[in-house]
Amino acid sequence: MESAINDQSIRRGAGGPETRGSSKSRRRHRRAVRFGCAHGRRRQRRRYPELQAASLVCKSWSQALRPLRESMLFLRWGKRYKHGLGVRVNLEKALDSFLKGADRGSTLAMVDAGLIYWEMGKREERMALYRRAAVLGDPAGQCNLAISYLKAEPSNATEAVKWLYQSSHAGYVRAQYQLALCLHQGQGVDRDLYEAARWYLKAAESGYVRAMYNVSFCYSFGDGLARNHRLARKWMKRAADHGHSKAQFEHGLFLFSEGEMMDAVLYLELATRAGETAASHVRDVILQQLSESSRARVTSLADNWRALPSPV
């Protein structure tokens, strides 16, 4: 009995009052630490006012950049749903993500949402988004808005050319080509072959395949550029090697006229496969003059041919 009482007293003394005291001391210590930290921070702010200013600037920048971070996140998810990157293709979810990104100021999301509306045939919604992006200075939005004006019923070519100039000067290659077409045809602007050729050449040098094809004709006929058959052939071949079917037909005809039958029939075969039916007639004439082994080689070359990649 005595032993039990002593053991209990020992346990109570060791675990009761002493433990509660330790708990109180820990709470007092924590309060002291908090007070000390807060006091230290106040002292730092008084001694280093520039530190407080820098902290406020960082906080304001973080708050200001939040919509941008969110817009990029929605843009990324929109592209994943649109192209099926790790998820199933879902245009409704893609559009919803793009619109949320657009609401947070992303011109890229505005353009992507406009493209989906274009696929849905919703002209007004598409134009509104392109216009928002264009006003904010996005070259793709400006170009798409201009093309929408050109394709509208009735068209508004004058307004289109205004936006094409802005997008072209920003370096957007597709706009440069469209602007060259308008200048070439006198659509929405006075016809100017020299200015048209300048924009064709700028777009072609940036890798726009249709512009390469048109530059070749500018050099061939002297439309806005000094007539130069060597440069005309160079740009026609370049367009053909990038997969332009009409350029393949034209280049094949040129090679045929020069007597280069194997190369000629290859380009004519490529043009025929791309849907240029007129090329097939010349191809058949050449094939009749070739041996069976040469015809088999042409077929093999055409089967393994790949267009050069275009940067735009």
Q: Report the CATH number at residue 129.
A: 1.25.40
Shared domain check, 158 and 99 = no
Shared domain check, 235 and 157 = yes
Is 58 part of a structural domain of the chain? no
| Count of other CB atoms within 10 angstroms of residue 253 | 18
Shared domain check, 124 and 176 = no
What does the alpha-carbon distance between residue 39 and residue 31 come to, in Å, rounded to a whole number? 12
Shared domain check, 293 and 237 = no
pLDDT tens sequence for the chain (312 residues)? 444 434 443 333 444 444 445 666 666 656 544 545 555 555 555 555 665 666 655 666 556 567 788 999 999 999 999 999 999 999 999 999 999 999 999 999 999 999 999 999 999 999 999 999 999 999 999 999 999 999 998 999 999 999 999 999 999 999 999 999 999 999 999 999 999 999 999 999 999 999 999 999 999 999 999 999 999 999 999 999 999 999 999 999 999 999 999 999 999 999 999 999 999 999 999 999 999 999 999 999 999 999 999 877
* Chosen domain end from 242, 276, 291: 242
> Which domain, by its residues, includes 258?
244-307
Shared domain check, 166 and 202 = yes
Which of 258, 310, 256 shows the shortest CA–CA distance to 286?
256
Is 297 part of a structural domain of the chain? yes
Is 143 part of a structural domain of the chain? no
Shared domain check, 248 and 236 = no
Is 280 part of a structural domain of the chain? yes
Shared domain check, 249 and 236 = no
Structure tokens given for 229:
């058959």
Is 144 part of a structural domain of the chain? no
Per-residue pLDDT, 239: 98
Q: Which residues of 70-81 are buried (b: 16+ CB within 10 A; e: fewer)?
A: bbeebbebbbbb
> Using an 8 Å Cβ cutoff, are 130 and 145 in contact?
yes
Q: What is the DSSP letter of 224?
A: S
Shared domain check, 214 and 159 = yes
What does the alpha-carbon distance between residue 257 and residue 264 come to, in Å, rounded to a whole number? 9
Read off the pTM.
0.78
Quote the distance between the C-alpha of residue 133 and its chain's center: 14
Per-residue pLDDT, 51: 57
Q: Is the peptide bond before 67 cis (omega within 30 degrees of 0)?
A: no
Shared domain check, 185 and 115 = no
Q: What is the CA angle 262-236-183, rounded to 5?
A: 160
What does the alpha-carbon distance between residue 223 and residue 212 come to, in Å, rounded to a whole number? 14
| Count of other CB atoms within 10 angstroms of residue 116 | 20
* 305 burial via Cβ count (<10 Å: 0-12, 13-18, 19+): middle
The residue count of the chain comes to 312
Per-residue pLDDT, 249: 98
* Chosen domain end from 215, 242, 269: 242
The count of domains in the chain is: 3
Structure tokens given for 269:
């075969």
Is 56 part of a structural domain of the chain? no
Structure tokens given for 21:
């005291």
Is 175 part of a structural domain of the chain? yes
Reduce the DSSP state of residue 242 to 3 states and report it: coil
What does the alpha-carbon distance between residue 263 and residue 280 come to, in Å, rounded to a whole number? 15
Per-residue pLDDT, 22: 61
Per-residue pLDDT, 55: 61
* Chosen domain end from 102, 136, 170: 136
The torsion angles phi and psi of 117, rounded to 5 degrees, stand at: -60, -35
Per-residue pLDDT, 64: 58
Shared domain check, 159 and 87 = no
Is 99 part of a structural domain of the chain? yes
Per-residue pLDDT, 311: 79
Per-residue pLDDT, 41: 53
What does the alpha-carbon distance between residue 171 and residue 20 come to, in Å, rounded to a whole number? 75
Q: CATH code at 202?
A: 1.25.40.10
Per-residue pLDDT, 66: 78
What does the alpha-carbon distance between residue 191 and residue 189 come to, in Å, rounded to a whole number? 6
Residues 6+ apart with CB under 8 A from 85: 79
Shared domain check, 113 and 194 = no
Per-residue pLDDT, 6: 44
Shared domain check, 252 and 238 = no
